[in-house]
Structure 1
Amino acid sequence: MTWASAILIPYFKVGLELSNAQAALVAVASFVSYFIFSIPSSSFLNLVGYKKGLIIGLFVMSSGALLFIPAALSQQYSIFLVAIFVISIGMVLLQTAANPYVTIIGPRESTAQRMGFMGMANRLGGVLTQLIFSSILLRDAGDISHQLTITSPAEKELILTEYLSKVISPYIFLALFFVIVAGLIYFSNIPNLKDEEENKITEGIERKSILSFPYLALGVLALFLDGSISVAVNNSILYGDALGIPFTVSRHFSTYALTFTLIGFFGNTLLIPKYLTQQKAVVLCAITGFTLTMLTFFTNGVISVWFLLAQAFLSAFTWGSIWGLAIRNLGKYTKLGSALLLMTLISYAIAPIIFGKIIDLNPMYPRWAVLILIPTYFYLFYYGKWGYKVENWKK
């Protein structure tokens, strides 16, 4: 559901007449819950079990989807943000449950490959979600934005009321869908993750706390910075709009980005670890990403956007590879390590505000916004080359 944010941001920008920075609060509402609830979700899942946790998460998401109804009828941005936040809390529960399974069910060297399969399914769902949402919510956004500048206040109110009501039907459908999936899980046989399975990967390493794993701490920072790549790409619609690209063209950018990501995850599953190690993947992506960022900055128009979108291909490799390098050999700390890594999605809430604010402050030269990716690629190069090897803080 977080992929809907890329559509909701320009939708609310038009329907609620927001600035780029204000519209970016959608991303804040979508991802801040990962920072707040990742560790509590891990404890909660230990208490109720993974199956019940999945069901509860889906019902939470359903209730959040239904909140879109009063939000649209009242045209209150704050209620929309609360609804998105509630949905994201349910998402945290789902992901906290799923990621440890993916890590432990096979060799750590192929973690990125398994994450790739999961990412492919996630992005495929994202592509479908964005295609559907874009066709419903953004189809007339360009014309409506123009109409709002030439109509009277009374006519403007009618236009905005009708436009914002478009979001009600899709979210009612989603609410029902989440309930149906919860029912299917209830009648299925999903095994619980066993602690002894986690302990199998300790390889004799005994640590006093989660802080005793330097490569995990460095990996948490790597994943946090890595989020800025996806954020920049996911905001390609706003970036394209700032470059003066017609909305009829730019509204498809987020779908193109997801398609690139989907192709990247497919390549991930084919190349890692058979032909490419996780650490080499991170290094190569850092070098390539830096080059693409420079090309994005020094070009203009649609070409600049395409260089930005191409970086979605890289993010498909870096996410799973960093995860696999950071969570290895954690033993009994695997669930907590997974929660810490999941918390890094807070960057998806912080980076959009920075990205949007830079565009707002530099309307004549929005390409300055992409430079936030430079520190990310420098650090990813460090982590893939040396950081993942750090086993002891004293070395």
Structure 2
Amino acid sequence: MPQNKYLFPLILVTSLFFLWGFAHNLDPILIPHLKRSFTLTTVQATLVDSAVFIAYFIMALPAGFILKKYGYKTGIITGLLLFAFGAYLFIPAANTQQYGFFLIALFVIACGLTILETAANPYISSLGDPESSTQRLNFAQSFNGLAAALAPIIGARVILTKGASDETLSKMTEAARKIALATEASSVKTPYFVLGSVLVLIAIAFAFTKLPEIESGEEQATDKNIFQTFKHKHLSRGVAAQFFYIGAQVSVFSLFILYATKSAGLTEVKAADYLGVGGIAFLIGRFIGTFLMKYFRPADLLAIYAVINLMLCLSAIFLHGMVTVYTVIAICFFMSIMFPTIFALGIKNLGNDTAIGSSLMVMSIVGGAILPRAFAYIGDAAGNIQLGYFVPLICFAVVAFFGWKGHRTNLKLINAVAPIL
């Protein structure tokens, strides 16, 4: 546990995990909302995820350089302000009623989130005993789980309930229907304005709070480059595991509402409520997982959870009715420890390469831009969104291997191909 001098910084930085978790978990609400408002296919709707997670890939290394040159505090404030600016962009996006403008706003938000996550994850890991870094990061990420529980429930009632019913829309002329659907996009203005204002206030709070700077030790050599960091094979495999895990997580959460309306015949708002239950399961899983790490090695727990989720994916593919909803909620529970555990194991013992390693781990979040689209392509092509769960199934198999053997710093197996993965 952190020393007393680290307690308040730990609390303050932990709040960031809730904030970006809330933003991310509004995306599953935006996907069916914008899909309906702009009459999109499932694949087109997943551009919401693509806009968000491509930003992680583009901004991860610049975020690392910002932290190295200006420090964690400046990086956090920069990330918060960029996050707020993106939230405010939802107002002109709604006014112009352009899908592309929404994607730009989401991209800007994600650029801010990239800086925040690049800073907050290693910062939390460093605030205390290195031996408890994985447990500490899981605790902080639990508040991300709290946001995952609250955002869909709140977002559904603020955003999804504002439009005309399908029966009303069916009676309209085509022109009137398009206007009505496009106007629904305006329901996002108030929640994102409030979110942006809260972020500005928190950025001001950070500006007036003294935070300890975390030093990694010796200065990195000036000729150090990103490719040299791949000499740490467990980092290479961690980047691959995180890529596939994020792809699985985004597929499960972002497409939950579309999945549940088809597999169990739920309404969108009811499906959003069950997504909130999934968020609660995710939160409980974080706390239970953090507790279990006192008795089990994090890597072993990661492998076990991944194998369980692999089997649950088969149920999500082949079963029907409410059991599929409960199955996906169970997947949320067992996903709970994966991101922070993979992150902590991937950057463990990197020394002077920790900052770049952290950036690489954040870059791997681009899996959330790519794999959900594969999920959607399978669902659209087959006319059955349940078949998309073959994508998370493969992802959890990769995570299981990382927890079983891939995290080991002295592992020689597949070292030659790990950077390619």
Change over 3 Å in CA distance of 1:118–1:198 after alignment to 2: farther
User: What secondary structure sits across from 1:189 in the alignment?
Assistant: coil
User: Does residue 1:319 correspond to 2:342, yes or no?
Assistant: no
Superimposed CA distance per residue, residues 317-356 of structure 1 (whole angstroms, 9 cap, x where no aligned partner): 2222222221111000011111111111111111221112
TM-score normalized by the length of structure 2 = 0.86
Matched, 1:214 2:233: yes
Other-structure match for 1:205: none
| Alignment partner, residue 164 of structure 1 | 185
CA shift at 1:248, angstroms?
Answer: 3.8
Mapped pair 1:366 → 2:388: no
Residue 377 of structure 1 corresponds to: 396
Equivalent residue, structure 1, for 2:125: 103
- Check the 8 A contact 2:248/2:372 in 1, yes or no: no
Q: Which residue of 1 aligns with 2:16?
A: none
User: Which of residues 105, 108, 119 is equivalent to 2:141?
Assistant: 119
Deviation at 1:79, TM superposition (A): 0.3
Q: Which residue of 1 aligns with 2:72?
A: 50
- Give, as a single letter, the amino acid of the residue that structure 2 aligns with 1:262: L
Aligned equivalents of 1:307, 1:112: Cα separation in 2 = 27
Aligned to 2:268: 247
Question: SS where residue 31 of structure 2 aligns?
Answer: helix
SS in 2 for 1:245: coil
Task: Give the Å deviation of 1:178.
Answer: 1.2
Q: What is the CA–CA distance in structure 1 between the aligned matches of 2:219 and 2:304, rounded to whole Å?
A: 30
- Provide, for residues 221-278 of structure 1, a one-character-per-residue CA deviation record: whole Å limited to 9, x for no partner: 1111111331232111111123343334223232122111101111122111x11111
- Quickly say closer, same or farther: Cα 1:284–1:108, change in 2 above 3 A: farther
The question of whether the paired residues in 2 share the 8 Å contact of 1:57 and 1:90 is answered with yes
The residue type paired with residue 301 of structure 2 is A
Q: Is there any run of 5+ residues in structure 1 with no aligned partner, and where? A: 200-207
Shift of 1:372: 1.1
| Count of aligned positions | 385
Letter paired with 1:359: G
Counterpart pick for 2:157 among 112, 135, 155:
135
Q: Does 1:180 align with 2:201?
A: yes
**1:87, CA displacement in angstroms?**
0.7
- Give the distance between the partners of 2:110 and 2:96, measured in 1 at CA: 22
Which one-letter code corresponds to 2:122 in the other structure? P
Match of 1:78 in 2: 100
Contact between 1:111 and 1:320, CA under 8 Å: does it hold in 2? no
AA in 1 matched with 2:134: A
Which of these residues, 155, 160, 173, is aligned with residue 152 of structure 1? 173
In structure 2, the partner of 1:308 is: 328
- CA distance in structure 2 between the partners assigned to 1:172 and 1:74 by the alignment: 16
When residues 86 and 128 of structure 1 are mapped into structure 2, their CA distance, relative to the original with a 3 A threshold, is: same
Q: How far apart, in 2, do the equivalents of 1:218 and 1:321 lie? A: 13
Q: Which residue is 1:204 aligned to? A: none
TM-score (norm 1): 0.91
Structure 2 residue identity aligned to 1:153:
E
Please list the CA deviations of residues 19-70 of structure 1 after superposition, one character each: whole Å capped at 9, or x if unmatched: 1111111011111111111111110122222212211211111211111111
1:175-324 correspondence to structure 2 within 5 Å? 175-196=196-217, 209-234=228-253, 235-243=255-263, 244-272=265-293, 274-324=294-344
Are 1:278 and 1:322, in contact at CA under 8 Å, matched by a contact in 2?
no
Indicate the SS of the match to 2:336. helix
Partner of 2:28: 6
Cα shift at 1:195: 2.5
Change (3 A) 1:109 1:195: closer
SS in 2 for 1:360: helix
**Which stretch has the larger CA shift, 235-244 or 39-48?**
235-244
Closer, same or farther in 2 for the Cα pair 1:128/1:377, shift >3 Å?
closer
Q: What CA distance in whole angstroms lies between the structure 2 residues aligned with 1:229 and 1:78?
A: 25
User: Deviations for 1:136-157, whole angstroms, at most 9, x for unmatched residues?
Assistant: 111255x534433331134324
Q: Does 1:351 align with 2:368?
A: no
State the superposition RMSD in angstroms. 2.2
1:389 matched residue in structure 2: 408
Match of 1:22 in 2: 44
Assess if the C-alpha contact under 8 Å between 2:126 and 2:214 holds in 1.
no
Q: What is the CA–CA distance in structure 2 between the aligned matches of 1:59 and 1:321, rounded to whole Å? A: 28
Percent sequence identity over aligned pairs: 31
Q: Where in structure 2 are there 5+ consecutive unaligned residues? A: 1-22, 221-226, 416-421
**1:115: how far off?**
1.8
Say if 2:72 and 2:119, in contact at 8 Å, map to a contact too: yes
- Give the residue type in structure 1 aligned to 2:277: Y
Judge conservation of contact 1:112–1:268 (CA < 8 Å) in 2: no
Contact 2:312–2:331 at 8 Å: present in 1 too? yes
Q: Counterpart of 1:163 in structure 2: which amino acid?
A: E
**Poorly superposed stretches of 4+, deviation over 6 Å:** none
Following superposition, the deviation at residue 380 of structure 1 comes to 2.2
Contact map agreement 1:245 1:301 (CA 8 A) in 2: no
Structure 2 counterpart of 1:383, one-letter code: F
For residues 78 and 186 of structure 1, the distance between their equivalents in structure 2, rounded to whole angstroms, comes to 33
Task: Tell me if 1:336 matches 2:356.
Answer: yes
